[in-house]
Amino acid sequence: MKILAVDHTRCTGCRLCEIACSLHHDGVANPAAARLAIVRWEEEGLHVPAVCQQCDVAMCELVCQPHAIRRNPATAALVVNYELCIGCRMCVIGCPYGAMSVHPLGRPVLKCNLCDGEPRCVQFCETGALQYLEPQAVSFAKRSATARKLIGGES
């Protein structure tokens, strides 16, 4: 079961992920309708992707009274069923990371569904700030860098 892994130090702020996401889901290039967001501090040169973590204990799922948010067993993604969604936006409030948002024009709430296992944002990330990895690979790069430092090499 792969995980959407974020390394914000590699993010250049190009926002192709946001455009690819909205275009794939809605047919419109519109970051405001993307299921993830790049939070940007222009002056400090910082760009931090804010993406859904598909939490094991998911607040969005827990607060949803009509049970419109369910886990897809194939991807482990929590997916909004818009047929059941009543647009109360409690999930948006409940998410501790701000990873869910309100759609500016169409659907009531926006949530990443990992594109059914082929996340478009990752396909458009040239630097690897976003990757779709097996769990054991998520921290391997950092681990080996740390290990190299410990034995006195260049990280």
Partner 1 sequence: MRSCGWAGTILRVDLSSGAIERQPLEAGFARAFLGGQGFAEKLIFDACDFSERDPFSAKNVLCVAPGALSGTLTPGSGRLTVAVGLSPSLGGYLDANAGGGFASELKWANYDAIVITGQAPHPVYLRIADDQVELRDARQLWGKRVRECDHLLQHEVALTQYARLIIGPAGENRVHGSMPTCDLFRAPSAGSTGAVFGAKNLKAIVVKGTRGVPVARPAEAFAAFRAVYEKNRAEARFKRFGEQGTKWLVELSGTLTCQYNMQVRDFPYEHLSIERFRKEFASGSKACHACFQHCDHHWQINSGDFSGEQGSGGEAGTIIPLGPMCGVSDYATILHLTNLVNDLGLDSITAGCAVATAMHWWQEGLLTAADTGGLRLEWGDAQAEEQLILQIAERRGFGAVLAEGTFAAAGELARRRGLELARLTSLIRSNKKRREVPADFRPLKGMAFSRALDIRECDVLNTDTLMAEGNVDYERYRHIGVPEPVARQWADSYICNPMVFDDKSLAKFYSDNHLSVCNSLGICQRFTTWAQMRMGLEDIARCFSAVTGIDVTWEDLHQAGDRIRQLEQAMQLLHGFRKADDYFPDAYYNSPVTQGRFEGAELDRGEYTTELENLYRLRGWDKDGRPTAAHLHQAGLDDVAAKLRAVELLAP
Q: Which residues make up the interface to partner 1 (CB under 8 A)? A: 9, 12-16, 19-20, 22-24, 26-33, 39-40, 42-45, 104-105, 124, 126-127
DSSP 70-137: EE-TTT--EEE-TTT--S--HHHHH-TT---EE-SSSSSEE---GGGG--HHHHT-SSSSEEEE-GGG
d(CA 155, CA 149): 6
Output 97 or 147, the one with its CB closest to partner 1: 97
Output 64 or 124, the one with its CB closest to partner 1: 124
- Beta carbon of residue 11, minimum distance to partner 1 (angstroms, whole number): 8
d(CA 22, CA 28): 6
Output 118 or 134, the one with its CB closest to partner 1: 118
- Beta carbon of residue 49, minimum distance to partner 1 (angstroms, whole number): 13
- Beta carbon of residue 46, minimum distance to partner 1 (angstroms, whole number): 8
